[in-house]
């Protein structure tokens, strides 16, 4: 309401409840980031490792640039009060993102870039630290003198992940 220059009451002319407002905010702000990820995947020509990096960098950049870094924390903290909001977020953001990254990992396996892994587990291992880093930065980040810069965290995380899934070159044991 403050950003739009209107009263709180005006907001509730358009939204019946706080939950409906939150659901619309997620739908209109976060879902387009997932849509963009789908578009990037369809147009990708590089390796699967490069695509994973591109998708995760874009994800974090978009959340930050759009002022949405705190949304995952907000949704998690409000899940008990607004279960429909949590379900919406799971359906339209988390599950879609998991499917996107699963497709990329499967592509890497199919093309011989990645070894055969349990794709569902690999997606969890890839995405959970990224989500936690967003939540941590949005909540404890201002008080954490050891907080890694976003790019350094992503580089380190992807380095660990890719070492675990890449096919070892022949002759290396």
Cα(37)–Cα(161) distance, rounded to whole angstroms? 19
pLDDT per residue rounded down to tens, the chain (173 residues): 676 676 766 666 666 777 787 788 788 888 889 999 999 999 999 999 999 999 999 999 998 888 888 888 888 888 998 898 899 999 999 999 999 999 999 999 999 999 999 999 999 999 999 999 988 988 899 999 999 998 999 999 999 999 999 998 755 55
What's this model's pTM, rounded to 2 decimal places?
0.85
Strand pairing partners for 166?
Answer: 114
* DSSP-assigned letters across all residues of 59-125: HHHHHHHTT-TTHHHHHHHHTTT-HHHHHHHIIIIIHHHHHHHHHHHHHHHHTTSB----HHHHHHH
């Amino acid at each position: 309401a403050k950003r739009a220059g209107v009263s709180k009451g005006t907001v509730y002319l358009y939204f019946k409840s706080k939950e409906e407002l939150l659901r619309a905010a997620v739908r209109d702000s976060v879902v387009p980031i997932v849509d963009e990820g789908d578009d990037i995947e369809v147009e990708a020509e590089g390796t699967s490792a490069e695509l994973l990096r591109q998708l995760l960098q874009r994800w974090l950049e978009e959340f930050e640039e759009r002022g949405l870094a705190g949304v995952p924390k907000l949704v998690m903290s409000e899940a008990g009060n607004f279960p429909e909001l949590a379900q919406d977020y799971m359906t339209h953001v988390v599950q879609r993102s998991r499917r996107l990254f699963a497709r990329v990992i499967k592509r890497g396996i199919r093309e011989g870039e990645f070894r055969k892994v349990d794709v569902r587990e690999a997606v969890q291992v890839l995405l959970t630290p990224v989500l936690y880093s967003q939540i941590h930065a949005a909540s404890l980040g201002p008080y954490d003198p050891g907080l890694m810069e976003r790019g350094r965290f992503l580089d380190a995380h992807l380095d660990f992940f890719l070492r675990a899934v890449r096919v070892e070159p022949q002759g290396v044991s």
